[in-house]
Amino acid sequence: NAGVTQTPKFQVLKTGQSMTLQCAQDMNHNSMYWYRQDPGMGLRLIYYSASEGTTDKGEVPNGYNVSRLNKREFSLRLESAAPSQTSVYFCASRVLAGGNNEQFFGPGTRLTVL
């Protein structure tokens, strides 16, 4: 089991460029999440998908779009990148078993917008 995988690991964009961050999980989890992590801010939820075919906004959705392509894959798109979107992006999937409610995180994508 690879768990949660993310591509790319690093990316540098110029202001105004677009890109898609890919995430896939092989644990058959229903729920998937996109977070961003900035210094001193912890992780903030951008979008989530509680189940295949549904997506919902989190705390900081502006400037982003998502697609739940199938049960395994959940992508995050930046249509017109801005320097304020420089961050580390984490994808997570979630199991709800016996009240454990655990999220499994990918290794992250480090994005710099110039």
- Reported as half-sphere exposure (CB side, CA atoms, 13 A), residue 72 has a value of 9
Binding mask 17-56 for other proteins (x = CB under 8 A): --------------x-x-x----xxxxxx--x-x-----x
107 binds other proteins (CB under 8 A): yes
| Cα 68 to Cα 9, 32, 100, 110, 113, distances in angstroms | 20, 9, 24, 21, 25
CA distance 102 to 10: 26
Q: How many residues bind other proteins (CB under 8 A)?
A: 27
Residue 29 corresponds to which amino acid? H
4 binds other proteins (CB under 8 A): yes
> Is 63 or 104 the residue whose CB approaches other proteins more closely?
104
71 binds other proteins (CB under 8 A): no
8 A C-beta contact, residue 55 and residue 73: no
> Is 31 or 87 the residue whose CB approaches other proteins more closely?
31
The site for other proteins (CB under 8 A) is made up of: 4, 31, 33, 35, 40-45, 48, 50, 56, 58-59, 90, 92, 99-108
